[in-house]
Structure 1
């Protein structure tokens, strides 16, 4: 197994951007690092910065996500060129900010070179990343290969605000009892909206923050394996 780590410290309110590439004989996985939701609270809720043009000129994306991906994408491409020696399958993954970058990396690769389309994109607690135009372009090429996991009242997938930003399809929803669904039940959707309207959903003890932790995603997914 070979590894390649990419790291960049940008001048905007992200502490750093990191990608980690693992390559084996049959599979390559590129994982993007996430960040704590309390560290990106103002950034996620800030709608004053105009969106950036999306990958391949399709639609628009949140400016911060676009800049974060731009900072590491050349190195990710170089690592992939070096490590993909025998047509291995390719997967992108990430949690929180990393989920947004995994989705955008897959979109950029597909829209700029369809022959390099990822075999799968798995995100956890991904924020809204792009507009409807890019979401649809993404779905046409990668819709059946995308799994966007959301854990109950996780606050991060509810941000940045609509209608400028939206989600790609492929939702896999984990309810309050840890059961995995292929869509979000109506009652749970209402619960999420109530949680989002509470006084401070970014408080460390809030349900919106607890549900965002990656360890709670892993716990629920392990429970569903049984």
Structure 2
């Protein structure tokens, strides 16, 4: 296990300091770092706001840029709308932990493999509650191991327990990374979603509420 931690820390050599709002239970360790048992991240959690991001998407050889809007509908669902910079709709979907409803999708994105991948990525991005199975620490960084849908994830956190990165690590290899960089509590200014085995990368920069 130490070898796994070292590899993850090496791969995550630049962990962005974050400031998302989380509720969690802790207990002190010998080096006074918290051991997380659970927490909730609160990105996209205000139903009164539209969270608007400049989006650059490289997906299976296609390049897209535009505006991606996240809107909380209720405690279970969010609506995501991707448009061009001029307001032409490219994708309009509703997503929850159980459902994925497509209102509209442009022809180039209307492929099963693309929609399934985006569904999984956005579902992980929007997931609020995480139950922590085990935590490790090197004194300045905390690695929290979780399972969602039977899949193992490593959450890379700073010593203050603020989330900077989520790695999907089947068979001890990083397959998918989500990286965050909030500037104030409750939302993240930068989001980077990167697949290591397929050609899919999403870069989001927050531009307004």
Answer whether TM exceeds 0.5 for this pair: no
Higher helix share: 1
TM-score scaled by structure 2?
0.25
Q: Tell me: higher relative CO, structure 1 or 2? Use CA pairs within 8 A at least 6 residues apart.
A: 2
TM-score scaled by structure 1?
0.24
